[in-house]
Structure 1
Amino acid sequence: MKKQVIVALAISMGAFSFAQKKELKTAEKAIKSSNFSEAKTALSQAEALKGEMDSKLKAKYYYLNAEALYANGKGSMKDIDAAIESLSNVEGDYIQETADLKQKMVTSLVTSGNTAYEGKDFSKASKYFEKTYRLNTKDTVYLYYAATMSVSVPEYDRALTLYEELKNLGYTGIAKEYFATNVETKKEEILDKNTRDLYVRSKSHIKPGERTTDSKKPEIVKNVALIYVSQGKDEKALAAMKDARAESPNDVNLILSEANVHYKMGNTEEFKSLLKQAIAMDPKNPELQYNLGVIAAESNHPDEAKKYYQKALELDPNYVNAYINLSALILAGEKPMIEEMNGLGTSKKDNDRYDELRENRQNLYKEAVPYLSKALQLDDSNINAAKTLMNIYSILGESEKSKAMKEKVEALEASGK
């Protein structure tokens, strides 16, 4: 009886081994013929026998399963995820085959990601880039691309998960960048080291050099914080900023990012304080002066706002928005004049006051004209500046200028600018 059981068991195990090999061979043959549906069917049957497979057959199963799911790049997103998972289970045998398939998949995924990006399908691009990273976790830049694309969609929950993963990895994005100047175009080009050296030797490029790229950490922290703000998680947003600033206290970009969070939260005093810190570190930055002007104007401190806008223009005479905001600051003085004019009676005293206010109002318009004209000169498609000038010239009785500005407004509206 014992001998019969042993013999029967041996026959049973042999049958299992034969079935396993047969299904895997069928799958392998189907894959070579690009019949991935048939391969999946065979592999599904082999999966039921997986518990009885030895390590070599298991490695082959996982490898073939990944090939069938990937389907030469035609697999769905879900299939590609399953293929990546299957490849992670390959051990012992089929290591080189697995490495080759991974490289093939990486190349295809990067191409698909770039195509989606160029077509502005940022959601799809993000998913392709994330899968690229999952295949080769050394390429952390693709995880960064995936997070950045998610913000563009926007898919904030997904972006936050990816950014947190980058943060836990200690990702900075700092890398060595190689460059050289193209002799024909006179433009600097970023190249990989071997290509750059080859071009320099062939004399098609000159002035080779290398540099370290800026850290992506300020951008990542800023986006994480802004996502938290959009979700109403203000405390988490500020905690993210404070952690980053503790690590890089002299990073102006991080100070500005924290200032922006406070601004979105309505904390204007904290915003102003942080901007002033940033100005002390970067006193020649016109944008900082401009932002302080915006806050001063919104806080009903027009004289202070005017000083900041003028300082911004000292640093950058072509700062269009500073000219626009200065004109708006001036024209804001019109409202109380109109209210008083409308409330006057018909007495001689009231008529005299009306004439005085009317003259003051016209002087106010004349003061705003140079700023609006300069803004329009720098940005000739600024329809708001053109409309305001058209109305001002009409009120001042300068009919020719008003007519010319009206024609410009109509032209801009017709062009859709």
Structure 2
Amino acid sequence: MKKNIAIALALVLGTAALQGQDDPVKLSKQAARALTSYNMDPGSNVAKLEEAKEKIDRALQAAEVQGMVSAWQTRGEIYSTIVQREMMLRSLNPATPLSGDNDALEAFQSFQKAYEMATKKFEKADAAKGIGEIQSYLVNIGLMKYEKQEYEKAFRSFNALIKSHDILSAEKLKSLLDDPEQHQNQLYVTALCAQLARLNDEAEKYYMRLYEKGNAPSTVYEGLYQVKTEKGDAEGAERILKEGRQKYPNDAGLLFSEINLYLKKGELDGLIARLKQAIEQEPNNLSLYITLGSVYDNLYQREAQQKNEAKATEYFDEAKKYYEKALQIDNKAADAYYSLGALYYNKAAARTQDLNALPQDDYSAATIKKYQQIQKEIMALFDQALPYFQKAEAINPNDTNTLIALSEIYARKDELEMANEFKKRLEVIRGGGKNPNSYFKM
């Protein structure tokens, strides 16, 4: 009988002990005590810090503990201690890994929770103090994520930094972002990380904070324009771009954004002045000359179709001039050679349409003479185009358009062996392969 009572008593005591171990509130307190033990002797009690982390995370799975300010404060202090220890070790050996993805962010979120739930003055003060201590680590880990191109994670860290500043400012406590210029720079970096992570709503929010200050730099207008464009707000994007261009007329980023907008909308006439301004600012930018040449090329084709011969000739000559200027910057610019060839090729194609428009059943001497004259002009234009395509192929033997042009010109010239050569090279590319060498040499 006594033996049975002893066994029953042992079972009751054991169950109570297990219940004590699993009690979430007690786990929270045990986590706090483990952190205190670690702080008394960090060198010898590293295991206590890991114990504290494990217990507080387990405790906070319970709803009753989630409502305790002290539990969130404890969690913030534990994660803050972890990140401080590990960043100190990294300062001695940069190869030291971090145990968590961003324990500074974990600490901040816990302190923030404690701060928002606090009803007593000392609770708010303790939470704000913890937030102030974690700021520099939010910066450091955010930069680490940015350098790894983990832009969303960088944004999360910098976003917490901005929020930490707002809390500290409200409490009239010192913050890393007290300097207005530093604060403005951090707002921009945070917006940029959100934009790079395609978090467009967040990016727009931070860009707007800068914009609404009234002294936003050109980069803010550029970023806001891009974000609004990405979100499909074309009207808002163009309004911001127009305002930015008026405020910063010489800014290259905004100028190029406007050029791309005009290209997208096909507003060729408005592009010329903007491209010429861009060339003045970047006289060695090859793509600007090719783009301006292409604009004039398109204007030439438009005027030629409308039979405005004088304007067509003017635009043709301007296109040729800018393509040639591109080659003065880089004499191996395949795009410029191709564009020059295409300029003459397209002119020949337009004359071919004129040839086809002649009466097919009129064999009069005048019609035959006209036919022969146009045919001669077409072949002369193909002959002018050919050297440019040859040079383009010599630089890039795997450009589909260049190979098509060469094949068709040689076919027109009845040089079938050469036409077949470039057809074969074209088939290699269309089959997913690459031509190892060019046919022509520079």
1:112 CA drift (Å): 5.2
The equivalences for 1:257-296 within 5 A come to 257-280=257-280, 285-296=285-296
Distance in 1 of aligned mates of 2:341 and 2:295: 16
More strand per residue = 1
Contact 1:286/1:311 (<8 A) preserved: no
Distance in 2 of aligned mates of 1:242 and 1:153: 26
Question: Are residues 306 and 386 of structure 1, via their aligned partners in 2, closer, same or farther at CA, if it must alter by over 3 Å?
Answer: farther
> Are residue 45 (structure 1) and residue 64 (structure 2) matched?
yes
- Structure 2's unaligned 5+ residue stretches are 1-22, 35-47, 84-97, 117-122, 163-176, 304-311, 436-442
Q: Aligned pairs, how many?
A: 340
1:129 CA drift (Å): 0.9
1:87 CA drift (Å): 7.3
| TM-score, scaled to structure 2 | 0.60
Contact 2:78/2:107 (<8 A) preserved: no
- 1:316 counterpart residue number: 329
Distance in 2 of aligned mates of 1:334 and 1:39: 80
- 2:411 counterpart residue number: 394
Distance in 2 of aligned mates of 1:401 and 1:308: 29
RMSD over equivalenced CA pairs, Å: 4.5
The equivalences for 1:87-236 within 5 A come to 91-93=124-126, 110-111=143-144, 114-115=147-148, 117=149, 125-137=150-162, 138=177, 147-148=191-192, 151=195, 154-165=198-209, 167=211, 217-229=217-229, 231=231, 233-236=233-236
- Give the secondary-structure state (helix, strand or coil) at the position aligned to 1:381: coil
Distance in 2 of aligned mates of 1:265 and 1:164: 26
1:386 CA drift (Å): 1.8
1:388 CA drift (Å): 1.4
| TM-score, scaled to structure 1 | 0.63
One-letter amino acid of the structure 2 residue matched with residue 38 of structure 1: R
Distance in 1 of aligned mates of 2:405 and 2:265: 32
Distance in 1 of aligned mates of 2:213 and 2:152: 19
1:25-70 deviation per Cα after TM superposition (whole angstroms, max 9, x unaligned): 134359732425413136x4345454xxxxxx588346258679x9
1:389 CA drift (Å): 0.9
- Give the secondary-structure state (helix, strand or coil) at the position aligned to 1:339: helix
> Are residue 405 (structure 1) and residue 422 (structure 2) matched?
yes
Question: Are residues 403 and 256 of structure 1, via their aligned partners in 2, closer, same or farther at CA, if it must alter by over 3 Å?
Answer: same
Question: Are residues 373 and 221 of structure 1, via their aligned partners in 2, closer, same or farther at CA, if it must alter by over 3 Å?
Answer: farther
Question: Are residues 297 and 82 of structure 1, via their aligned partners in 2, closer, same or farther at CA, if it must alter by over 3 Å?
Answer: same
Distance in 1 of aligned mates of 2:161 and 2:253: 31
Contact 1:126/1:146 (<8 A) preserved: no
- 2:29 counterpart residue number: 25
Question: Are residues 87 and 111 of structure 1, via their aligned partners in 2, closer, same or farther at CA, if it must alter by over 3 Å?
Answer: farther
One-letter amino acid of the structure 1 residue matched with residue 318 of structure 2: K
1:345 aligned to which of 339, 342, 360: 360
1:368 CA drift (Å): 1.0
- 2:400 counterpart residue number: 383
1:205-260 deviation per Cα after TM superposition (whole angstroms, max 9, x unaligned): xxxxxxxxxxxx54543342244345554443343234434443333443333333
- Give the secondary-structure state (helix, strand or coil) at the position aligned to 2:60: helix
Distance in 2 of aligned mates of 1:155 and 1:94: 29
> Are residue 250 (structure 1) and residue 250 (structure 2) matched?
yes
> Are residue 358 (structure 1) and residue 375 (structure 2) matched?
yes
1:99-139 deviation per Cα after TM superposition (whole angstroms, max 9, x unaligned): 66565566555555555x3xxxxxxx332011221343458
Distance in 1 of aligned mates of 2:198 and 2:128: 38
Contact 1:23/1:46 (<8 A) preserved: no
- 2:76 counterpart residue number: 63
One-letter amino acid of the structure 1 residue matched with residue 324 of structure 2: L
One-letter amino acid of the structure 1 residue matched with residue 342 of structure 2: A
Distance in 2 of aligned mates of 1:48 and 1:157: 31
- Structure 1's unaligned 5+ residue stretches are 1-18, 51-56, 118-124, 173-216
One-letter amino acid of the structure 1 residue matched with residue 414 of structure 2: G
Q: Which of structures 1 and 2 has the bigger CA Rg?
A: 2
One-letter amino acid of the structure 1 residue matched with residue 336 of structure 2: A
1:294 CA drift (Å): 2.5
Question: Are residues 371 and 223 of structure 1, via their aligned partners in 2, closer, same or farther at CA, if it must alter by over 3 Å?
Answer: farther
1:357 CA drift (Å): 3.0
